[in-house]
Amino acid sequence: MPGSIKDKVAIVGMGCTKFGELWDKGPTDLIVDSVNEALTDAGVELKDIQAVWGGTLFSGTGGRTVSEALRLQYVPVTRVENACGSGHEAVRGASYAVAAGIYDICLAIGYEKLKDEGVGGLPGMENRTNTHYQSSMPGVFAMMATRYFHRYGLSPEEGKKMLGKISVKSHKNGAMNPKAHLRREITLEQVLAAPIIAWPLGLFDCCGVSDGGAAAVIVRADMVKKFPNKPVYVKALQISASPTTGRLLTTYDYTHVEEAHRAGIAAYKEAGITDPRKEISMAEVHDCFSITEAVTMEDLQFSPRGKVKEDIEAGTFELTGSLPVQPDGGLKCFGHPIGASGIRMLYEPWLQFQGRAGKRQLKDPKMALAHNMGNEPYAPVVSVCIVGL
């Protein structure tokens, strides 16, 4: 019988840089700036940190990238990578080490410097032998939208409208977030008229490709009284890696992400949640593309299968709805510096729980879910992290 992380560790301070095209900042700046904010927030100094987990996909290898930037004095640093889910992986490493009783106070950090690459989309992540087919990341998610429309009988216009409303909502939230990359409200008409990136996904169906860093100070739950903030306890950390059989077998429907569904079930069990739609106060999900957010609402049991359209149209996931999703703008608008995203998803709950979310502040949030996904819909690693008071 596996154990549980529930209430064994707590976040006592967090930091996050502004995300965006930060031409004047390198990886070192992203690390130092996010860590400084987290340490100040927690009221601790760098020398108090006993071990560090750093998540990045492209920005440096080894623990040295972090220890060098911070001039850490010979403490253990582990670089973790789980594709776009690297941020949560860093939180897992730090949380488990603290829960195991090895350390009292650890740092989880995620960072990514993407904009030096000079390419559209992500840098090359193909490690196959040869080029077998030429779709981009938007392309493989677009194929999920094609299939979703086909399966549920949506015309391209109906489908694109459903997805467009997701992006309109995220832009509305992102516009209120001073740290977000994309801070303009948009209209559904703009979304539908935007250039196609990979049919049926247009420009506004795709998240921002950004630079950024985020960090969290994680301590043993019995130590929280020593820190000034309201502690935010880790309730669940579950991860599911794909056997990637969905691209080989005709049984996979390509309208859901099995790993998200399973990680969700496991996380709800670990956190003791029986009715996620009612018990979760807010969610930050991995909305790399609008279709990803749509199916994730179904995978995490917020909406019944094939019915997310009804919830989108009812405004369920708006800031004013019963289950706000992406209150900070999500990957869509806050941006997606790969390694930083998983920790950025916890930064918004952190601010919300402290009552520091400004115009985006929700009333009395108690339980927040973050869903961090790496790789394609048929072959991902998906992490679900639940935090609460």
Partner 1 sequence: MANYNDYLRWRELVPQEAARRPDKQHIRSSANWRERKQLLGLWGIKCRRCGTPQYDNGAATTGPIRICAQCLAQDDFDDYNFVRRKAKVFSYTQDNLAAVIDPPASVVLIEFEGGGRAFFDLTDRDPAKVEVGMPVEMTFRKMQYDRGLTNYFWKARPVR
Number of H helices, E strands in the chain: 12, 11
Min dist CB 379 to partner 1, Å, is: 8
Interface characters, 176-195, with partner 1 (x: CB under 8 A): -------------------x
- Exactly one of 100, 102, 193, 196 binds partner 1 (CB under 8 A); that residue is 196
Query: Which one of 261, 336, 371, 385 is the catalytic residue?
Result: 336
Stretch that binds partner 1, among 120-128, 158-166, 294-302, 343-351 (CB under 8 A): 120-128
Q: What span, in angstroms and rounded, lies between the C-alpha atoms of 199 and 141?
A: 10
- Exactly one of 100, 102, 193, 248 binds partner 1 (CB under 8 A); that residue is 248
For residue 206, indicate whether it is catalytic.
no
Q: What span, in angstroms and rounded, lies between the C-alpha atoms of 59 and 80?
A: 12
- Exactly one of 11, 282, 379, 385 binds partner 1 (CB under 8 A); that residue is 379
3-class DSSP string for 208-235? CCCEEEEEEEEEEHHHHHHCCCCCEEEE
Query: Which one of 84, 106, 207, 288 is the catalytic residue?
Result: 84
Helical spans, DSSP H, in 152-255: 156-174, 188-193
Stretch that binds partner 1, among 45-53, 60-68, 116-124, 281-289 (CB under 8 A): 116-124
Contact predicate 344/177, CB 8 Å: no
For residue 285, give the nearest of 387, 382, 372 by alpha carbon. Answer: 372
Q: On the CB side of 343, how many CA atoms lie within 13 Å of its CA? A: 41
Q: What span, in angstroms and rounded, lies between the C-alpha atoms of 214 and 212?
A: 7
Total residues in contact with partner 1, by rule CB under 8 A: 44
Beta strand 282-284 with 232-241 is unpaired
- Exactly one of 134, 155, 274, 320 binds partner 1 (CB under 8 A); that residue is 134
114 near partner 1, rule: CB under 8 A: no
Of 71 and 132, which has the nearer Cβ to partner 1? Answer: 132
Amino acid at 377: P
Stretch that binds partner 1, among 134-142, 212-220, 267-275, 297-305 (CB under 8 A): 134-142
- Exactly one of 64, 184, 247, 269 binds partner 1 (CB under 8 A); that residue is 247
Of 9 and 162, which has the nearer Cβ to partner 1? Answer: 162
* The residue to which tokens 């992006």 are assigned: 167
Q: Which two tokens stand for residue 209?
A: 């490709």
Min dist CB 200 to partner 1, Å, is: 8
136 near partner 1, rule: CB under 8 A: yes
126 near partner 1, rule: CB under 8 A: yes
Of 45 and 126, which has the nearer Cβ to partner 1? Answer: 126
153 near partner 1, rule: CB under 8 A: no
For residue 115, give the nearest of 302, 306, 294, 335 by alpha carbon. Answer: 335
Q: What span, in angstroms and rounded, lies between the C-alpha atoms of 266 and 236?
A: 8
Q: Which two tokens stand for residue 134?
A: 């030429």
Q: What span, in angstroms and rounded, lies between the C-alpha atoms of 81 and 375?
A: 12
249 near partner 1, rule: CB under 8 A: yes
Stretch that binds partner 1, among 99-107, 130-138, 301-309, 310-318 (CB under 8 A): 130-138
123 near partner 1, rule: CB under 8 A: yes
For residue 84, indicate whether it is catalytic.
yes
Q: Which two tokens stand for residue 106?
A: 């650890």
Of 114 and 234, which has the nearer Cβ to partner 1? Answer: 114
- Exactly one of 143, 232, 340, 346 binds partner 1 (CB under 8 A); that residue is 143
Of residues 74-103, which lie at the interface with partner 1 (CB under 8 A)? none
Beta strand 77-80 with 51-55 is parallel
Q: Which two tokens stand for residue 185?
A: 């409200």
Q: What span, in angstroms and rounded, lies between the C-alpha atoms of 379 and 193?
A: 31
Active-site residue numbers? 84, 336
Contact positions vs partner 1 (CB under 8 A): 117-124, 126-136, 138-140, 142-144, 146-147, 150, 195-201, 243-245, 247-250, 254, 379
